[in-house]
Amino acid sequence: MGYVHDTQIAQFIPPTICHFVTGAWTDAAGATANTIAKVKAAADETATVTIPIVIPSNAAALKGSKLVSIDIWWEVATAALDALSANIFLVTLPANGSAAAAPESQTFTYDTGHDTGAERITLDEHKMTLTITTPFWIDDDQYVSVGLSVNAAATSVFRLLGAVAHFTTRI
């Protein structure tokens, strides 16, 4: 039997599996034909988007997936946002009968086109890369999510197009 160690694995995460809090969200076609998006209706409010990073995990040390970076695509239309920020969380699932522990924030850097708040809020199509400072292996009782805080102006329209997780896999 062979052993796989691939440092260039990527997994697309569609907007339809994300979780959206605050605002009126609809499934819609993207601005480009034959694409999908999750669209937040214009309103002066702050919404939270949780993007689950769905990649393999493993109970064995240094096997499964080592998460390296996450790309997120979105569009802002009509008016610029007031603010947009991201967080990466590592969540450990509790044992039976135990309370869940607080998610652990992971350190990361924004790409050079999104490393200031002003760059993340513009009327434009965005691809933002979050590069994890210390990439980590995901245990079989853990999962990762990205939290986006989207502070919209009264007429801002926000369209989430999806994300891609980049990771090393060992199986």
Q: Which domains does the chain have, with CATH numbers?
A: 10-170 (2.60.120.260)
Element (H, E) at 120: helix 117-120
Check: CB of residue 151 under 8 Å from CB of residue 84. yes
Give pLDDT, residue 2. 66
In the chain the first and final C-alpha atoms are separated, in Å, by 11
* 3-state class (DSSP) for residue 125: strand
* 3-state class (DSSP) for residue 130: strand
What does the pLDDT look like over 80-134, one tens digit per residue?
999 999 999 999 999 999 988 899 999 999 999 999 999 999 999 999 999 999 9
- CA nearest neighbour of 51 among 130, 167, 107: 130
Check: CB of residue 149 under 8 Å from CB of residue 89. no
Give pLDDT, residue 5. 86
pLDDT at residue 41 above 60? yes
Check: CB of residue 135 under 8 Å from CB of residue 67. yes
How far is it, in rounded angstroms, from Cα 50 to Cα 17? 9
What the block records as the tokens of 47 is: 């919404």
